Amino acid sequence: MSHRKVYYTLPESCTGCRMCEMSCSLRQEESAINPEVSRIRIREFPDKGVFIPKVCRLCRKPACVAECPDQALTQNDDTGVIEVDIKKCNGCGICVDACKFDSIHLHPVQNTPMVCDLCKGKPQCVRYCMNGTLVFVTPEEYREVKNRSGMKEGEPKWPTHIHSV
């Protein structure tokens, strides 16, 4: 079994309450609730009535790491977390442009990359998600539940007991 875990989202259950953004920003900054410093972002599509959580997908070959001209970003082999060495970062934002999932942002004050660090393995966004929209499981757990339930891509029906951290 892998030590690595992945996020899985159930966007059809997201109400846009933004508890994930608030809990993330409070954990990361420790002094204020500010969605601009959250590592997870809720994208709103008002014309469709849809909210989609955007969080780092912990890519196996992350473009943000590959494109960084100063090697300020690395990926932890065990967890998949993108780690930022702010001493090496020049704030150019190439990593932001390289991420095709819109999951990395520059800090509005420090101008350094902000990316999910999984809250040391216990993501606060998952803990405080009221609807179970955010799920954090091993790839094996995901495949097991998907196969057992007959889930098809685009039709997630995740058991509520899996999402707790």
pLDDT of residue 142: 74
How many whole angstroms separate alpha carbon 72 and alpha carbon 74?
A: 7
Q: Which CA distances in Å does 81 have to 8, 95, 99, 103, 123?
A: 15, 14, 14, 12, 12
Higher pLDDT, 141 or 51: 51
Q: Is the pLDDT of residue 152 over 80?
A: no
Which amino acid, one-letter code, is at 30?
Answer: E
58-115 CATH fold: Alpha-Beta Plaits (3.30.70)
> pTM here?
0.79
Residues sharing a CB contact under 8 Å with residue 110, sequence separation 6 or more, in sequence order: 86
pLDDT band at 72 (very low <50, low <70, confident <90, very high): very high
Q: Where are the domains of the chain?
A: 58-115
